[in-house]
Amino acid sequence: MDLKGTCQIVKMNSFSEEDQSYLHLLYFPLMHSDAVLVYQVLLSLANKKEKYDQSFLIGLTFFSEVQFERARKVLENYNLLMTYYQPSTKHWVYQLYPPLNAHDFLTHDTFSRLFLKEMGSKHFDKMKLLFQEENVETKNMINVSSSLDLSRLDSWDEDNEDLYQRMVPKAKDGLKKYPFDFNEFFDGMERTLPQRIRSTENMTRIAELATIYGVTEKKMRTFVSRSLEDNKSTINFEKLRDLVMRSRNEFKESDGYSMAPIKYFSMKQRNVPVSKSDKTIIESLCTEYGFSFEVVNVLIDYVLAQTGQKFPKAFVEKVASTWVRLGVDSLEKAIEQTRGNTSLDNTYTYSRKVKTIDFSESFVEKEGEIEMDRDELLAQALAAQASLKED
């Protein structure tokens, strides 16, 4: 087949940090280096929303067309790549898929047998042990890892920074949506927080955490300082998030729905600290579902009212998913969704059909049949209500 023309590369499904381990330790012995290199090149170019010349793509691998096509077919054989071709326009589409995780690979009907035949039983057992899920304790050990030598940036000055700001790709201006004062945050942080790690991505995450959890700029300075690692070259955001979640947070605003959702939830329970599980659910409403604080806080009110002041994850996600589908993106739309449906008793009433579901009794079938808990019934009722509204 003629390999000339243009191509697009698309990542299918989500990729994780562990995928590289699976690729090199499990797939590599079966596919060898050519296929792995082509996969890495495709992965580097994926989802750029850009068409490439096939010659450019193949040139990045330093392979001939024959080598490239052979490697491509190997990737297809292991379900890491699907290739589509339009002869009339000579356009290719490469769809990349993540590797199977270790458990799925080592139990795959075909891949596991090929791996055993190629590597032998001892190596097979080593891989099973290597990928066993267990926490390795390093608390009482000394970190002797080498850090990147940043002395080359010692002479970095304002001219270098000006040039860098002109050359670096313009990032999306996502910081404006967070009411976080970076001037106050950076005050006194010249040496603590080097310019090289003040990327838009890092600052956005800091502002996001501070705003969701109601952490002041001053307190956030302390938390970020305690989360710096590798000679102040990286921010450990898992540690930062843990510090933020465990803190007793202050908040300046007191005007209801516009306050930080974690603070709002705490206020709903008489300022008792919010549990870690509830904090995680609320954070996901802001980050994964993309709701504004006003919408999240109305949703909190709605769920607490419907569940007798409980906050079940399954029900929260059902409500959130429905509101996303209904385009609830403002305070007004959120309040509209709750009108007529926020009674504090255990009865859920549809407004357009005479139908009532009573949750005062348990719905448990006899042995051998399905048990439906109250949260699941609530979720079903909400889904039915959403369906009625969409009619």
Q: Mind listing the pLDDT tens digit for each residue in 308-363?
A: 888 998 899 989 988 888 888 888 888 888 875 543 333 333 333 333 444 443 33
Which tokens belong to 276? 């870690």
Instruction: Kindly give the residue spans of alpha helices, DSSP state H, lying in the chain.
Output: 19-22, 28-45, 54-61, 65-77, 102-106, 111-130, 158-167, 182-186, 200-213, 217-226, 237-246, 261-268, 276-287, 293-306, 313-325, 331-338, 374-390
Q: Mind listing the pLDDT tens digit for each residue in 90-122?
A: 898 999 999 998 888 888 878 888 888 889 889
42 close to 108: Cβ distance less than 8 angstroms: no
Per-residue burial over 120-158, b = 16 or more CB atoms within 10 Å of its CB, e = otherwise: eeeeeeebeeebeeeeeeeeeeeeeeeeeeeeeeeeeee
Would you tell me how many other CB atoms lie within 10 Å of the CB of residue 207? 22
Q: Which amino acid is at 108?
A: H
- pLDDT recorded at residue 29: 94
Top-ranked range on mean pLDDT: pick from 62-66, 139-143, 180-184, 286-290: 62-66
- Local confidence band at 172 (pLDDT 50, 70, 90 cut-offs): very low
Q: State the residue for tokens 């439906």.
A: 372
Distance CA 387, CA 364 (A): 26
- pLDDT recorded at residue 121: 86
- For residue 311, how many C-alpha atoms fall within 13 Å in the half-sphere facing its CB? 19
Per-residue burial over 93-102, b = 16 or more CB atoms within 10 Å of its CB, e = otherwise: ebbbebbbeb
Longest dimension (CA), the chain: 76
Nearest residue to 177 via CA among 220, 141, 212, 202: 212
Top-confidence residue, 387 or 34:
34
Q: Which pTM was predicted? A: 0.38
Distance CA 355, CA 351 (A): 8
- Local confidence band at 185 (pLDDT 50, 70, 90 cut-offs): confident
